[in-house]
Chain A
Amino acid sequence: MRKINTIALLIAFAAVIVYLGSASCGNGPGGNKTNVAHADSGQVKTPLSPVLPFDVTLPPKGTGVLETTIRRSFDVFSWDSFIAMCWPAQGHGVIGQFGDNATVWETWKKNYEVFLANGLPPAPWDTGLQSKEANLSQTGKTPANMTFIFQPFMTGPLIDQNGQYNRFEIAMNKEMFDYIDTHKLYNIQGQQAFTDSVLFPQGDNTKKTYGAIMVKASWKVLGKGDDTSRFHKVKAIIHIPALASRGIRDSSYEAWVGLVGLHIGTRTTISPQWIWSTFEQVDNAPDLGKAVNGKHYNYYNVAAGDKALNKAPAQPWNPGIPGQVPSQVARLTPIDTGTQALNDSIHKILVAINPHSVWQYYELIGTQWPVHPTQSNTGDPFPVYMANATLETYDQGSVVNGKIVYSPGVTSSCIGCHNASVTWAGRPSDFTYLLKSAQSLKK
């Protein structure tokens, strides 16, 4: 293991250095506008960079091996993206220098800021960019009006060990926002009038352009048993929808929430079916059958047994109901060893910046990309299945008679599922369900 780690570390360094070299002007439109930190922070030196990669950098043609070196290129792309997106938003030092920091991606546009209830055009990109408080009112990973009716098999709430529901939010970068804004895709009528194919901008290494990036984040309300020094935290307004039958009224309160999952989707020239990177907080859930006694998991309780493993909670689903039974979650597909080695090496770099960096507690679960992009609509994704335990909890696969089974077309696959996404006009929406959250223009 040690040996692999060292090698991985070297590779990781090499890759990061390449970026430092190639992206010296770190002021790309998709990047951080206030990324002076790296250049002049002075106090902390790190090979990590606030500059988002444009696209993956692959091994020379014909030399790559799918499971190792090619996967590594995509994993490095994922980590580079994560680091740049979680870089301090307001130019205070480097990532994790002060333990935690408000991030770049949290300044991006949230879906509800783009798709307004009245269907009117959204405010320009740079209004309210600095707002830090997240309004987390959704309880499904897709936008509110898609999950308002809970869909069996699509998404159920995820309930942590304290009986609290996870919250989810969606954000997009400027490239993605601009595309929606320019083509008036922010309301139903705009989408119906749009007769071209929806094709978001793609990141390109040669042209040095950024592609569309969308982020899905999943948060847990911090509480009993949570070591808050291990989470990226924000204060959020927690919304509880009404449920008359249980005497629950529509209400909101403020609480600290910790980041537990982060999906990053990036559209690029090499990967027009997008590159799908998914991260989790390290305490979420054990691998199936590998729970460590005495360890505190966010979504697993060793004492509870595995009979309700990865099953959606009992109905009715409402976060206001007291005393709900926590979800019992295990990861069915372990993290690839090469990916894990890269995680370890990046964690070391993060610790070197600050031993208390919260970012050392986030790990890359995997990167899915289209291996043969022109072969079919889905482009032959690899790994074939990929799931984030906090975002696709109940679609990871099933355990049947002690064996894990994956069902093509149903078991979570980012590209596989997103391939079915459409606009309000019923046409393909380029791998994002986001456009379906548009509302009708109210005159």
Chain B
Amino acid sequence: MTLDEFVSLSAALTGYPAVTLKPQNDTQQIAATLFAELSLASNNIPAAQLNELTQVWNSISATPPPGLPAAVQEKIIENLAITRLAQNIIYLWFFGTWYDLTKNPNSFTSPNIDHVVSPLAYTNGLVWGEMGAHPMGYSVGEYGYWANIPTLPQIN
């Protein structure tokens, strides 16, 4: 998978525009940081699974936007051979974490290779902004902001 493929696939999986995930003038290089997880040997990603995900994505990525989610649903999410890997890409973006592919992420059996990718991957996790909040431990809000109703990001 290339970085560009990763970003476009990520956009389809997260529901965020690609330019939000990899902005112009990218100060924090989050896309590149997360993408690197896919080639990290210690993550034990079966090569076949990654290849299949890449191929499937390339086969549907040109689908015009209105039909794309359905294609993703059918070809990726409902494809048990690759859905778990696709889910991990969602977690990379929403949490900045990588979950051991061999278990359910909500299972804490150990040892496992669950890990946070990097401090910036954590602070850029999408889940926080999605609910109008900020990552716990990192806020750029001003004093007392919590008394005001936040604007949630637009969902297209």
- Which A positions have Cβ atoms within 8 angstroms of B? 64, 66, 70, 371-372, 376-378, 380-384, 405-409, 416, 419, 422, 426-428
B122 to chain A, nearest CB (A): 8
Task: Point out the residue from B25, B123, B139 that lies within 8 Å of A372, measured CB to CB.
Answer: B25
* SS class, residues of chain A in contact with chain B: loop
The complex places the Cα of A371 from the Cα of B23 at a distance, in Å, of 11
Across the interface, do A419 and B140 meet the contact criterion of CB distance under 8 Å?
A: yes
Q: Can you name 28 A-B pairs with beta carbons within 8 Å? A: A66-B26, A371-B25, A372-B23, A372-B25, A376-B140, A377-B140, A377-B141, A377-B142, A378-B140, A381-B27, A383-B27, A384-B120, A405-B119, A406-B119, A407-B119, A408-B119, A408-B123, A408-B138, A409-B123, A409-B137, A409-B139, A419-B140, A419-B142, A422-B143, A427-B142, A427-B143, A428-B142, A428-B143
**Bound state CA distance, A427 and B26, in angstroms?**
30
Is B28 on the interface with A (CB-CB < 8 A)? Answer: yes
Chain B: interface size category: 10 to 19
- Judge whether B27 and A408 touch: CB under 8 Å: no
Q: A428: which B residues are within 8 A, CB to CB?
A: 142-143
Complex-state Cα separation, A64 to B24, whole angstroms: 10
List of B residues within 8 angstroms of A376 by Cβ: 140
A408 & B143 in contact (Cβ 8 Å cutoff): no
Q: How far is the CA of A24 from the CA of B138 in the complex (A)?
A: 46
Nearest residue in B to A382 (C-beta to C-beta)? B27
A66 is contacted by which of B25, B138, B142, B143 (Cβ under 8 Å)?
Answer: B25
Bound-state Cα–Cα, A408 to B134, Å = 13
- CB neighbours of B27 from chain A (8 A): 66, 371, 380-384
Interface positions, chain B 73-132, Cβ under 8 Å from A, are 119-120, 123
Nearest-neighbor residue (CB-CB) of A375 within chain B: B23
- Contact pattern, B 137-155, Cβ under 8 Å of A = 1, otherwise 0: 1111111100000000000
C-alpha gap A422/B137 in the complex (Å): 20
Please state if B120 and A408 are interface contacts (CB–CB under 8 Å): yes
- Minimum CB distance partner of B23 in chain A: A372
CA distance A64 to B25 in the complex (A): 9
Flag if A416 contacts B25 (CB, 8 Å). Answer: no
**Minimum CB distance partner of B124 in chain A:** A408
List, in ascending order, chain B residues with CB within 8 A of A378's CB: 140
* Shortest Cβ distance from residue A406 to the other chain B in the assembled complex, whole angstroms: 7
B99 to chain A, nearest CB (A): 22
Q: How far is the CB of B137 from chain A (nearest CB, A)?
A: 7
Chain A residues whose C-beta falls within 8 Å of the C-beta of B140 in the assembled complex: 376-378, 416, 419
- Seed contacts A409-B138, A427-B143; 5 additional CB < 8 Å A-B pairs: A371-B27, A377-B141, A384-B28, A422-B142, A428-B143
Most chain A beta-carbon neighbours within 10 Å: one of B23, B28, B119, B140: B140
Which residues of chain A are near B26, meaning CB under 8 Å? 66
Shortest Cβ distance from A409 into B: residue: B138
Find chain A residues with CB under 8 A from B28 CB.
384
